[in-house]
Amino acid sequence: METILDVKQLTMDFGGLRALDHVDLDVRRGEIVALIGPNGAGKTTFFNCVTGIYTPTSGDILIAPAGGGKQERINGLKPNRVTEKGMARTFQNIRLFQNMTVLENVMIGRHCRTRTGIAGAVFRPPTTRREEQDSVDVGYEILTKMGLAGYVNEFAKNLPYGAQRRLEIARAMATAPFLILLDEPAAGMNPRETNELDELILKIRDEEKISLLLIEHDMKLVMSLSDRIFVMDYGRKIAQGTPAEIKSDPVVIKAYLGEEIDA
Ligand SMILES: Nc1ncnc2c1ncn2[C@@H]1O[C@H](COP(=O)(O)OP(=O)(O)OP(=O)(O)O)[C@@H](O)[C@H]1O
């Protein structure tokens, strides 16, 4: 399987604090990969570097979305450019446009694939109208797949919590990514919502052919979903392997010190 994201020796310093210390991580096409580790390990910082929110101090972030082709180094690209390159993400805390409808939220995700500029939005030539219709169609399709069709015209703020989290993923899907990065998608979910999320993530991978990289603390979810797991502690990668390998790795067990990882 081709590597679509190859992160090499990624290092991020915040003043005197080294939040990431020479971290290597790769995602192959069709994989669900988890990034786990205790609080403060550097997981979100890793996502922030990969998605252009921070420019890493050193290291390489390489992508090869077309597969088999040339890798491209994307260090320092702005977040919107990273999205255009095909990597979308969600955040630890829900970041929806709460006073916009569910459909509008998804269409905003789609915007990065349309060409309408300010002039187009004002004068609305036929191409703009076609693009808008296309965005609506794609938006509906994604919302249906995500089990959100019943909420299309509802304000985002009126959705139940689990549905809001699904909407964030829907918005990420609307950008037509090859990889989605999910930052703690199950945070705050009840067991039923977590089970639905588990099925949904598999569906995104299997039916939409989008690979996923997720940060998650729910070990049951991580162990059931992941093809491979990377473990971080104090900014360093301390282990990587299959769920079975990670569960029995003494280094990982020590890092979690008494916490339940045997999900
Ligand atoms: N912008 C920043 N400025 C300074 N320090 C930061 C910044 N962002 C993160 N850090 C520090 O980097 C370290 C790693 O934080 P990070 O949020 O990446 O950890 P995490 O593994 O995502 O933790 P959690 O599981 O609690 O979300 C922490 O010590 C944190 O305080």
Tell which residue, 222, 200, 205, has the closest CA to residue 28. 205
Tell which residue, 157, 173, 148, has the closest CA to residue 94. 157
- Between CA 6 and CA 189 the distance in angstroms is 31
Q: Where are the domains of the chain?
A: 1-86+177-262, 95-175
Higher model confidence: residue 261 or residue 9? 9
pLDDT over 70 at 251, yes or no: yes
Q: How far apart are the first and last CA of the chain?
A: 28
**What does the pLDDT look like over 113-145, one tens digit per residue?**
666 555 555 666 677 777 777 778 889 999 999
Tell which residue, 196, 235, 200, 230, has the closest CA to residue 213. 230
The residue assigned the tokens 């029995």 is: 248
pLDDT of residue 112: 73
Q: Whose CA is nearest to atom 11 of ligand 1?
A: 19
Residue burial 125-159, b: 16+ Cβ < 10 Å; e: rest:
eeebeebbeebbebbeebbebbbbeebbeebbeeb
Tell which residue, 205, 155, 173, 185, has the closest CA to residue 92. 185
Tell me the best of 43, 53, 90, 183 to mutate to test the pocket of ligand 1, counting ligand atoms within 8 Å of each CB and taking the most.
43
pLDDT of residue 136: 84
**What does the pLDDT look like over 64-119, one tens digit per residue?**
987 666 899 999 999 999 999 999 999 988 788 889 999 999 988 777 766 655 55
What's the CA angle centered on 114, arms 113 and 115, to 5 degrees?
A: 130
**What does the pLDDT look like over 204-235, one tens digit per residue?**
999 999 999 999 999 999 999 999 999 999 99
Tell which residue, 263, 246, 248, has the closest CA to residue 37. 246
130: helix, strand or coil: helix
3: helix, strand or coil: strand
**Ligand 1 site, residue 43, Cβ cutoff 6 A:** yes
Closest atom of ligand 1 to 235 CA is 14
Q: Which amino acid is it at 36?
A: I
pLDDT grade for 1, boundaries at 50, 70 and 90: confident
Pair 136, 103: CB distance under 8 Å: yes
Mean pLDDT of 14-34: 97
Tell me the best of 18, 25, 44 to mutate to test the pocket of ligand 1, counting ligand atoms within 8 Å of each CB and taking the most.
44
Burial class (CB in 10 A: 0-12, 13-18, 19+), 256: middle
**DSSP H helical ranges for the chain:** 43-50, 79-85, 102-110, 118-123, 126-145, 161-174, 191-208, 219-225, 243-247, 250-256
> What is the value of pTM for the model shown?
0.90
pLDDT of residue 117: 57
Which of 3.40.50.300, 1.25.40.80, 1.20.140.10, 3.40.50.2300 is the CATH number of 1-86+177-262? 3.40.50.300
pLDDT of residue 116: 58
